[in-house]
């Protein structure tokens, strides 16, 4: 089977189009050795701020993908696209409704070879994404594994995203999720603000995503790249 365009990613920086970032900081992030820059946010994402950030990242060779989180923010020109589906919510609009609206509007323009669904399982009830989507973040291990099997085996989603945005997550739960995954790539994001936390999450997840710390402590953000790379590239 052909490998997916994101299948080798171990480390990703997630940039929020709604937050300002200097040229110097962007240069450091894009030249850091990260595998990709992912552009996405759960509020304040518009066509204008997404195009602006994309065109700045485009000056660099690093892969640049978009997590499409608003209808307005679907911008052509990225290397790849992720479409999030929030699995642990009862609100159908966030599982399939917004996505169907998006396909009605942009379906003929989607570059399918470079587009993948992400099955989000949001585990921090305080994260903006949890609040916006009404996610049931209080999953125990059994519940989480059921969601992972649903995403991985029944729905055959290419990416499962364990999302703790804003808080470092429960590593034993992440390890359990990883053991339950067969085919999907397991992304982990949330509260990685040091090399040590990057290392811990990267022990279990295929891909770790570093977001908020970029805006509060750039040096700490950059230290997460080497932490994942250190000891050579593992077969993951």
Q: Could you tell me which residues are annotated as the binding site for sn-glycerol 1-phosphate? A: 14, 161-166, 191, 211-212
Q: Is 88 in the site for Mg ion (CB under 5 A)?
A: no
Per-residue tokens: 161: 């995203």
Site residues (vs ligand L4TTDIOY, CB under 6 A)? 16, 40-43, 67-71, 74, 76, 81, 83-84, 86, 94, 98-99, 102-103, 106, 109-110, 115, 120, 127-129, 132-133, 163, 165-166, 211-212
Pairwise CA distance, residues 209 & 211, whole Å: 6
Residues that bind ligand 1GP (CB under 6 A): 14, 163, 165-166, 189-192, 209-213
Tokens representing 17 are 């189009």
Q: Which does 210 bind (CB under 5 to 8 A by kind): Mg ion, ligand 1GP, ligand L4TTDIOY, none?
A: ligand 1GP
For residue 153, what are its two tokens?
């085996």
Alpha carbon separation from 179 to 43, 203, 205, 233, 236 (Å, rounded):
32, 12, 10, 21, 13
Q: Name the binding residues for Mg(2+).
A: 16, 42
Whole-angstrom Cα distance, residue 42 to residue 45?
A: 7
Sign for the pseudo-dihedral over CA of 96, 129, 160, 150 = negative
From the annotation, which residues make up the binding site? 14, 16, 42, 161-166, 191, 211-212
C-beta of 42: minimal distance to Mg ion in Å? 7
């Amino acid at each position: 089977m052909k490998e997916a365009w994101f299948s080798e990613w171990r480390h990703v920086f997630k940039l929020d189009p709604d937050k300002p970032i200097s040229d110097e900081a962007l240069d450091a992030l894009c030249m850091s050795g990260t595998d990709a820059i992912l552009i996405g946010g759960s509020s304040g994402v518009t066509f204008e701020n997404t195009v602006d950030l994309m065109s700045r990242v485009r000056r660099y060779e690093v892969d640049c993908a978009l997590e499409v989180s608003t209808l307005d923010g679907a911008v052509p020109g990225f290397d790849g696209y992720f479409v999030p589906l929030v699995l642990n919510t009862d609100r159908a609009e966030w599982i399939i409704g917004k996505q169907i609206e998006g396909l009605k509007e942009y379906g003929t323009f989607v570059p399918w070879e470079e587009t993948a669904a992400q099955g989000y399982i949001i585990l921090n009830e305080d994260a903006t994404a949890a609040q916006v989507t009404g996610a049931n973040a209080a999953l125990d291990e059994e519940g989480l594994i059921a969601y992972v099997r649903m995403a991985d085996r029944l729905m055959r989603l290419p990416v499962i995203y364990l999302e703790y945005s804003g808080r470092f997550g429960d590593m034993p739960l992440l390890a359990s999720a990883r053991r339950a995954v067969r085919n999907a790539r397991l992304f982990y994001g949330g509260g990685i603000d040091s090399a040590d936390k990057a290392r811990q999450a990267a022990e279990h997840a295929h891909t770790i995503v570093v977001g908020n710390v970029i805006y509060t402590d750039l040096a700490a953000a950059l230290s997460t790249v080497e932490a994942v790379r250190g000891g050579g590239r593992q077969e993951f």
